[in-house]
Structure 1
Amino acid sequence: MTLKMYGFFRSGTSHRTRIVLNLKNIEYAFEGISLAKNEHKTADFKMKNPQGFVPVLEVDLAHGSETLLQSPAMIEWLEEQYPEPALLPKDALGREKVRALAAMIGCDMHPINNKRILEYLRNSANFDESAIEQWCQHWIEEGFQALEQILSADTERGDYCYANQVSIADAYLIPQVDSAKRFKVDMHQYPNIQKIYTTCMALPAFQKAAPQNQPDAI
């Protein structure tokens, strides 16, 4: 099985997928799709993903190729196809907790601050750059306040989002922290989140996945 990912270095969804691929030591080819140059809007790319979203994962299988869309589904597929090292706990309740943390970020925080929303605010709602930054800060801080509270209340949590196990929740969190820093969110408000970020960024898989270390970084 061979894999090829189409992504963008600063895309949070691409970033979280890279982290999972690296944690599982999966080799993959890469082709950059520049969101800055609107390459995701081209007819050629929309043949791969009609939504024009990154990442896209192409998988060559024995019976032919498949195109995988949407990073949450890709990450679940990678967990099933490459079960070791496991990025979900063995028990059902643990898996629910990890998926819930990931969904808080992937469903309720990240989408509100992505490129297409910000473009609409600029072009149709006449937001200036100061208002854009305030928008992003508001929704990130609202999400991080809730996440910080959950992490603080978990007496069994270790160095990561869940227990002492690196999980898909960490793969979702680290790109969101990078986004928060880009929008000048004061991370001192969230000591547990910041500690998890520091712990994860000491691991090679997370370092290798960092936006500045990608071949398409600008």
Structure 2
Amino acid sequence: MKLYSFFRSGTSHRLRIALNLKGLSADYIPVDLRVDENSGAAFKALNPQGLVPALDVDGQVLIQSPAIIEWLEETHPTPPLLPPGAAARARVRALAAIIGCDVHPINNRRILIYLRQQFGADEAAVNAWCATWISAGFDAFEALLAQDPQRGDFCFGGVPTLADAYLVPQVESARRFGVDMGAWPLISAVDAACAQLPAFARAAPLAQPDAPH
């Protein structure tokens, strides 16, 4: 497998976590978003949307991190990223969707570029924008964690799931935008627990070959 990734991309980060949790390795091929390499003809021939991550599996290119992670779950079911039971799986998927559907998409790079270029937003305004939507999502996420009497060290139960793979990159992004994580102690505790696992540590942005060192 070949993983087309950018070290600071939250969607790439969540896929790296999922691959590591599954015990799978892929050749890392950096796509430098800072110089718009993703918009070039070579990468768009692989992914017409021009977004990372993309996963080349024996010549078949998979795109969109939720679809790729679902493919991983279907083709490499052990260890699972979803718990047994339809209701439990729905809860984990909902936690992941708070991040994947409601927080990350309106804070990603192309949105922030548009805010700067079309609306003249300075860095303080961009950071305030990001903090607004991160805070809204994290408030709900924290409340859901607090409502779960069976919760262990992770988002659901005692082992990491799909929800943790989505949450940890968003916490990383929150810190990058200067968001004070003190308001969400349960989220912070989950993030700390995940950080102790090699699968998460190896997936971290600064651990990637294209990260500044």
Q: Sort the TM-score into its range (normalised by shorter chain).
A: over 0.9
What is the identity, as a one-letter code, of the residue corresponding to 1:187?
A: M
Tell me the alpha carbon deviations over residues 142-192 of structure 1, each in whole angstroms, 9 at most, x when there is no partner.
110111111111111111111112101000000000000001111010000
- 1:101 aligned to 2:101? no
Q: Given residue 192 of structure 1, which amino acid in structure 2 is its aligned partner? A: L
Matched, 1:42 2:36: no
Which 5+ residue runs of structure 2 have no aligned equivalent? none
Cα offset for 1:92?
A: 0.9
- Structure 1 position 198, deviation (Å): 0.2
Q: Distance in 2 between matches of 1:150 and 1:27?
A: 33
SS at 1:97 equivalent: helix
Q: Which moved more, 1:84-93 or 1:188-197?
A: 84-93
Output the amino acid matched with 1:32.
Answer: P
Match of 1:54 in 2: 52
SS of equivalent residue, structure 1 residue 151: helix
CA–CA separation in structure 1 for the residues paired with 2:149 and 2:76: 30
Structure 2: how far apart are the matches of 1:110 and 1:177?
Answer: 11
The answer as to 2:149 corresponding to 1:151 is no
User: What residue is the counterpart of 2:9 in the other structure?
Assistant: 11
Find the aligned partners of 2:36 and 2:112 in 1 and give their Cα distance. Answer: 14
CA distance in 1, matches of 2:201, 2:51: 24
Task: Indicate the SS of the match to 1:36.
Answer: helix
Letter in 1 for 2:42: D
Identity of matched residues, % = 55
Query: What is residue 33 of structure 1 aligned with on the other side?
Result: 31
Deviation of 1:51 (Å) = 1.1
| 1:100-142 deviations in Å (ceiling 9; x for gaps) | 1001000100111111000000001111111001001111011
SS of the aligned residue for 1:109 comes to: helix
Normalised by the size of structure 2, how large is the TM-score?
A: 0.98
Paired letter, 1:213: A
Partner of 2:108: 114
More helix by share: 2
Q: Distance in 2 between matches of 1:214 and 1:67?
A: 21
Structure 1 stretches of 5 or more lacking a match? none
Alpha-carbon RMSD: 0.7
Are residue 85 (structure 1) and residue 79 (structure 2) matched?
yes
After the TM superposition, list the runs of 4 or more consecutive aligned residues in structure 1 that deviate by more than 3 angstroms: none
